């Protein structure tokens, strides 16, 4: 059953006045994609309801705190476009927003419970007394949830070192910061009964709870930092666009009313409703993310994409402008991540190392052809060209194939490997145009 506070004094009225939500990551490591997922849904809920989105740091686990982790959280969420209205770095009237700066408050509130007989001291710590009542609530994602009172045993709220436990500090913070809705991962469902008991002890009406489904990998196991790509920095380094990653996260547990897969953060906010969040754990499918990122890349104009390539690759940036734009135009429809510029087009700005032994073996084993004959015939034909354009090159190379009775696929594959160092490249004739006559002939030699 749900906790009844009908006769209690309500200390704040956020449910009637203002929507206030928060995320509260711990700076104990890198910025996790799960943090971004939770932040996204909180952000959308706040903006949809003209409310306030708060960033709060749960930094009381001093031993596990990682240097630079706070900055990584700020940077990663900002990169994704998830700006917060209140937080440690931007301030706000409900601060401080770091738990380590609120220790006196937790200690004072714990003493209040001791003085009221709802908690007691033991071995230097303070424990909350088991209220022994059944606890339930209507979750905005999972529906009715209840726990028998016997499961809420006496629990520590303030440790002997003066630091609060999670279940205590989060309740105090949410009360004093006037949080109206707690939107967080479903792993916190088991914490909720203890927190509701504390709200009841303080005679405060609790916020509404919505527990989001846990993100899972393709094997339907919970995403793990030891097994899965979950560090937001990796996504950025690999060349995922923030708009694409946000779009992908929107569809994890939520569906667009019109069935659309590509849409903006602004559109997501306008349509967001917790009623459309499914309780079943969504699959974090990196293949779909790659596809979606490729769609976003193709929507960039050539100049914008070119600038992104320049930022990532100094060798590419050193090329002349016309060549860079030509390369960008050639690969735009073929790359799914920005880091694929190196594997797809690295041969343009760095001469490839061609393994001649492997090339000869491939030709002999697969086709029974002499790759040297292919390449020498191509070199002679291209050397005769005066107009170095795609139409002339296409015609000349097909003429070489026809006159020598070469197999077309074999001929162009040898040409591709010799010039680009790989069997997987953009169209080789277009690549030859961009490389230029001298460089192409040098590589064939």
The topology (CATH level 3) of 356-444 is Arc Repressor Mutant, subunit A (1.10.10)
Q: How confident is the model at residue 4 (pLDDT cuts 50, 70, 90)?
A: very low
Where are the domains positioned within the chain? 14-212, 300-349, 356-444
Q: What percent of the chain shows pLDDT beyond 90?
A: 76
Q: Tell me: pLDDT of 21 over 90.
A: yes
Reduced to 3 states, what is the DSSP secondary structure of residue 278?
coil
Supply the pLDDT for residue 5: 33
Q: Is the pLDDT at 357 greater than 90, yes or no? A: no
Does the pLDDT at position 209 exceed 50?
yes
Q: Residue 352 has what pLDDT?
A: 83
Instruction: Reply yes or no on whether the pLDDT at 111 is more than 60.
Output: yes
Calculate mean pLDDT across residues 92-101: 95
pLDDT tens readout for residues 364-416: 554 445 778 888 999 999 999 999 999 999 999 999 999 999 989 889 988 99
Q: Which two tokens stand for residue 229?
A: 């790509």
The answer to whether 225 is a known ligand-binding residue is: yes
pLDDT at 31 over 70: yes
Domains 14-212 and 356-444 share a fold: no
Burial (CB count <10 Å: 0-12, 13-18, 19+), residue 170: buried
- Asked if residue 341 has pLDDT above 90, the reply is yes
Which token pair is 171? 């309740």
Residue range 14-212 forms a domain whose CATH class is: alpha beta
Average pLDDT over residues 432-445: 94
Residue 114, helix vs strand vs coil: helix
Residue 22's CB: how many other CB atoms inside 10 A?
28
Residue 152 has what pLDDT? 86
Catalytic residues, by residue number, are 225
CB pairs under 8 A, 24+ apart, for 336-339? 336/290, 336/291, 336/293, 336/294, 336/297, 337/238, 337/239, 337/240, 337/290, 337/293, 337/294, 338/238, 338/239, 338/240, 338/241, 338/297, 338/308, 338/309, 338/312, 339/237, 339/238, 339/239, 339/312
Strands 125-128 and 119-122, by their bridges, are antiparallel
What is the sign, positive or negative, of the torsion defined by CA atoms of 425, 431, 436, 441? positive
Residue with more model confidence, 17 or 374: 374
Residue that is written with structure tokens 């107009």 in the block: 387
Instruction: Please give the pLDDT value at position 15.
Output: 43
Mean pLDDT along residues 130-146: 94
Could you give the CA distance from residue 227 to residue 74 in angstroms, rounded to a whole number? 24
Q: How confident is the model at residue 10 (pLDDT cuts 50, 70, 90)?
A: very low
Tens of pLDDT, residues 241-282: 999 999 999 999 999 999 999 999 999 999 999 999 999 989
User: For the ranges 103-112, 224-233, 239-248, 422-431, which has the lowest average pLDDT?
Assistant: 224-233
């Amino acid at each position: 059953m749900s906790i009844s506070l009908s006769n209690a004094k309500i200390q704040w009225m956020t449910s009637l006045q203002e929507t206030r939500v928060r995320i509260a990551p711990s700076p104990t490591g890198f910025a996790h994609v799960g943090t971004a997922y939770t932040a996204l849904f909180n952000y959308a809920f706040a903006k949809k309801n003209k409310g306030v989105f708060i960033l709060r740091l749960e930094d009381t686990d001093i031993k596990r705190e990682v240097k630079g982790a706070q900055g990584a959280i700020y940077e990663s969420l900002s990169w994704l476009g998830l700006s917060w209205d209140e937080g440690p770095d931007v301030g706000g009237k409900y601060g401080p927003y770091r738990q380590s700066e609120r220790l006196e408050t937790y200690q004072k509130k714990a003493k209040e419970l001791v003085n009221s007989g709802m908690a007691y001291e033991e071995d230097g710590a303070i424990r909350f007394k088991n209220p022994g009542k059944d606890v339930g609530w209507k979750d905005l994602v999972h529906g009715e949830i209840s726990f028998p009172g016997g499961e809420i045993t006496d629990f520590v709220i303030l440790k002997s070192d003066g630091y609060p436990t999670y279940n205590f500090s989060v309740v105090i913070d949410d009360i004093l910061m006037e949080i109206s809705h707690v939107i967080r991962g479903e792993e916190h469902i088991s914490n909720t009964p203890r927190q509701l008991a504390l709200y009841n002890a303080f005679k405060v009406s609790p916020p509404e709870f919505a527990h989001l489904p846990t993100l899972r990998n393709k094997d339907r196991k919970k995403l793990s930092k030891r097994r899965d790509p979950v560090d937001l920095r990796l996504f950025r380094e690999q060349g995922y666009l923030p708009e694409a990653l946000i779009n992908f996260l929107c569809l994890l547990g939520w569906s667009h009313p019109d069935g659309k897969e590509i849409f903006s953060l602004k559109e997501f906010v306008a349509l967001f409703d917790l009623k459309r969040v499914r309780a079943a754990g969504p699959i974090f499918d990196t293949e779909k993310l790659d596809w979606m990122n490729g769609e976003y890349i193709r929507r960039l104009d050539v100049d914008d994409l070119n600038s992104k390539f320049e930022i990532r690759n100094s060798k590419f940036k050193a090329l002349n402008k016309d060549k860079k734009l030509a390369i960008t135009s050639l690969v735009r429809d073929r790359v799914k991540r920005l880091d694929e510029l190196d594997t797809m087009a690295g041969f343009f700005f760095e001469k490839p190392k061609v393994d001649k032994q492997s090339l000869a073996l491939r030709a002999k084993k697969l086709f029974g052809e002499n790759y040297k004959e292919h390449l020498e015939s191509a070199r002679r034909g291209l050397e005769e060209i005066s107009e170095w354009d795609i139409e002339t090159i296409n015609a000349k190379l097909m003429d070489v194939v026809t006159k020598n009775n070469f197999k077309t696929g074999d001929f162009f594959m040898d040409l591709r490997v010799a010039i680009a160092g790989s069997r997987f490249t953009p169209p080789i004739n277009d690549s030859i145009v961009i490389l230029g006559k001298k460089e192409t002939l040098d590589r064939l030699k």
